[in-house]
A = this chain, B = another copy of it.
Amino acid sequence: MSSIKNRRILDVLNGIPVDKTPVWIMRQAGRYLPEYKKTRAEAGSFLDLCKTPELASEVTIQPIRRFDLDAAIIFSDILTIPDAMGLELKFEDNRGPYFDNPLDNIDDVSSLTDKNTDTLEYVAEAIIQTKEKLNNEIPLIGFSGSPWTLSTYMVEGSATKEFRKIRSIVFKDPEMLEALTKKLVKSISEYLVMQAKAGADVLMIFDSWGGLLNTDNYINFSLNPMKEIINNLRNNQITKNIPIILFTRGGGIWLNQISESGCNAIGLDWTTDISTARKIVGENISLQGNLDPCALHGTEKSIKEAASKILDSYGFGHRHIFNLGHGIDQYVDPENLGILINHVKEYSKKYHQN
């Protein structure tokens, strides 16, 4: 692992100065790339793509061939875990991922298995093959959804408009949610250790829906379970020193609490002002983000301005990984992403002198 050539992201995560601000892009292997669409079509379904290591590793490195990125992120989906636990994951192109039999009560939770690493071996294999293809040029990020975020899909069946079913369960059946969370903490912890063992150099936890909760319930049902996972990773020989990034969409109001979770970096969505975030979390933790993904639909000039504003606003280069504040969308022109990445590299140099 220590032989990786481009160490900018690893250095930023460990608080070591770098020569320019590193950058990677959430969902960088995705539908905005024509080569991705081609491989996706060859694979058959989205799930086939996730479950075929040759193809998953191929789409993982596609954006690396095009852009000057400082990390790859393994191509997969956060819903692989619920799928492995026994809820059969389905995809339809015009609907998104869903489960036919979402969880209704604590008995449904009891029937789920939390021993999933064997079933999820295909992710480990995709990581092994990706590491070979990357040839130690840049680090590889592994990831999982957070317990709360996975719970939302498992209870709702899909990403619904208001998430009213799970938000009501929080109040009327917290025991069910606690039982589910407990299984997910175990399953996610083992899944992330497996990814690190297979070669992931960094781990990221995506809490896409933590922002649905009030503060008390965010702490109870989202942040504390993520902390438990971080503790589990720190107590494991394989992952005790691995850098961990934690991203809660809508988490801008809880940065103080998130900064005490034990993670190395906090991912910021685009709504949070990064200079305000810096002041709240202090200097001992890194920040990742946080350009509005829709800025990529602007002109060359407006893209550069929006990126410069974030770099200027951050104010000094150390402990910042540039990224979007959410995943890149399928309608972005890849050329615009190239403009963004090159601009960040060039423009950020002045913040990394001496």
Contact = CB atoms under 8 A, between A and B. Distances in A.
A346 interface: no
Given A272-B253, A331-B164, A298 B171 contact: yes
B172 A297 contact: yes
Contacts of A198: none
A35 interface: no
Task: Please tell me the size bucket of the interface on A.
Answer: 35 or more
Interface string A312-324: 0000000000000
Given A164-B331, A309-B216, A171 B302 contact: yes
Contacts of A168: 294, 297-298
A211 interface: yes
A118 interface: no
A171 B294 contact: yes
Interface string A322-341: 00010001010000000000
**Most B Cβ at <10 Å: residue of A171, A212, A294:** A294
A162 interface: yes
A217 B253 CA distance: 18
19 contacts: A162-B329, A164-B297, A168-B294, A170-B292, A171-B306, A172-B297, A172-B302, A211-B271, A212-B271, A214-B325, A215-B271, A215-B272, A216-B273, A217-B292, A250-B250, A252-B253, A253-B253, A253-B271, A253-B273
Given A164-B329, A171-B295, 10 more contacts: A168-B294, A171-B303, A172-B299, A211-B271, A214-B270, A214-B292, A214-B325, A218-B271, A253-B271, A253-B276
Interface of A: 162, 164, 167-168, 170-172, 211-218, 250, 252-253, 270-273, 276, 290, 292, 294-295, 297-299, 302-303, 306, 309, 325, 329, 331
